């Protein structure tokens, strides 16, 4: 492979662009400079850390260590889902619902891909399992977060409409059905846009990385198609599960709207 190694100076030049953007945001009084710089520092620290961890896991392949890393990734993704919502469910529901939805969708589809489609032996080979699960969790996290936020915010804003429907004899599912469907569409929109633009407007990240690393373009294309379809399925199933159970949580056993179960960040 004709891989060009990057020096710290090269990465510093890229970081300078982010710093320049932060300075511009200060000039425009956008109030995001601190968040932007902190996110950049987190990117460096987290990626360097995961690089060291993966180096160790790749040299000592063991299901236990891979499972532990997968659980940590899932829990961190669950926290990010909860943290990015303006209106979220109170208590452990805010964290648990997103985490459970990602576990059901991302883990199941990753296992299917490893055992049936890619058919790698052993199926938990970290070269395939960890990057694939990471991409699944990252994209599913975005869909679930957007869907949940749209659901809770719309329910809060349209509470009088929902309660009027309930008084007319509608079931809880009927009363919130349009909000639930719109929330699922919102969660699916980014991945639909990504699929529609792939290869025309943009070259997806995995394909770009493989090509830069020296992989044959057509082989990189095949892997990218596989990843896009897997991510779409994971995002769709995860968003559907989280939005459906989230909408049910907004009502009690007597089908009364219970918005006190929400908290505003």
Q: What is the mean pLDDT of residues 204-215?
A: 73
Could you give the maximum distance between any two Cα atoms of the chain, in Å? 68
Provide the pLDDT for residue 244.
94
pLDDT band at 79 (very low <50, low <70, confident <90, very high): confident
Provide the pLDDT for residue 240.
94
Token pair of 138 as six digits: 């990252």
Residues near 43 by beta carbon (within 8 Å), at least 6 away in sequence: none
Query: In degrees rounded to 5, what are phi and psi of residue 87?
Result: -115, 125
Provide the pLDDT for residue 64.
87
- Separation in Å, CA 206 to CA 51, 72, 97, 192, 217: 17, 22, 29, 17, 12
Q: Is the pLDDT of residue 11 over 80?
A: yes
pTM for the structure as a whole? 0.80
What digits encode the pLDDT tens for the residues 109-157?
999 999 988 888 888 888 889 888 988 898 899 899 999 999 999 999 9
Token pair of 253 as six digits: 């056993």
Q: Is the pLDDT of residue 1 over 60?
A: no
Q: Is the pLDDT of residue 6 over 90?
A: no
Local structure of residue 261 (DSSP, 8 states): G
Provide the pLDDT for residue 172.
93
**Higher-confidence position of 214 and 153:** 153
**Higher-confidence position of 200 and 165:** 165
Other C-beta atoms within 10 Å of 168: how many?
Answer: 9
Provide the pLDDT for residue 3.
65
Provide the pLDDT for residue 202.
66
Alpha helices in the chain (DSSP H): 8-27, 33-59, 63-83, 92-102, 108-112, 126-157, 159-167, 172-175, 177-197, 205-212, 217-249
Provide the pLDDT for residue 219.
84
Q: Which residues of 191-209 are buried (b: 16+ CB within 10 A; e: fewer)?
A: beebeeebeeeebbebbee
Please tell me the distance from the alpha carbon of residue 35 to that of residue 262, in angstroms, as a whole number: 25
Q: Is the pLDDT of residue 163 over 80?
A: yes
Q: What is the mean pLDDT of residues 89-108?
A: 89
Provide the pLDDT for residue 181.
93
Could you tell me if 81 and 147 are in contact, meaning their C-beta atoms sit under 8 angstroms apart?
no
Mean of all residue pLDDT scores within the chain: 87
What digits encode the pLDDT tens for the residues 166-187?
999 999 999 999 999 999 999 9
Q: Is the pLDDT of residue 158 over 90?
A: yes
**Higher-confidence position of 91 and 108:** 108
Provide the pLDDT for residue 148.
92
Helix (H) or strand (E) holding 264: strand 262-264
């Amino acid at each position: 492979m004709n891989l060009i190694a990057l020096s710290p100076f090269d990465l510093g030049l890229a970081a300078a662009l982010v710093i320049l953007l932060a300075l511009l945001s200060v000039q425009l009084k956008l109030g995001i400079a601190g968040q932007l710089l902190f996110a950049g520092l987190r990117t460096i620290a987290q990626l360097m850390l995961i690089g060291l961890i993966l180096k160790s896991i790749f040299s000592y392949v063991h299901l236990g260590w891979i499972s532990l890393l997968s659980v940590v990734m899932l829990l961190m993704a669950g926290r990010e889902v909860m943290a990015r919502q303006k209106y979220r469910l109170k208590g452990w529901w805010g964290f648990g619902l997103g985490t459970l939805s990602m576990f059901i969708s991302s883990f199941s589809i990753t296992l299917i891909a490893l055992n049936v489609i890619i058919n790698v032996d052993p199926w938990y080979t970290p070269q395939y399992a960890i990057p694939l699960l990471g991409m699944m969790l990252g994209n599913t996290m975005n869909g679930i977060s957007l869907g949940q936020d749209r659901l809770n915010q719309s329910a809060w804003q349209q509470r009088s409409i929902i309660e009027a429907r309930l008084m007319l004899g509608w079931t809880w599912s009927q009363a919130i059905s349009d909000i639930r469907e719109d929330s699922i569409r919102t969660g699916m929109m980014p991945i639909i846009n990504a699929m529609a633009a792939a290869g025309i407007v943009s070259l997806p990240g995995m394909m770009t990385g493989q090509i830069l690393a020296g992989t044959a373009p057509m082989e990189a294309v095949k892997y990218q198609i596989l990843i896009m379809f897997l991510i779409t399925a994971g995002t769709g199933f995860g968003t559907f599960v989280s939005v459906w159970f989230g909408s049910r949580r907004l009502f009690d056993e007597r089908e009364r709207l219970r918005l006190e179960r929400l908290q505003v960040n």
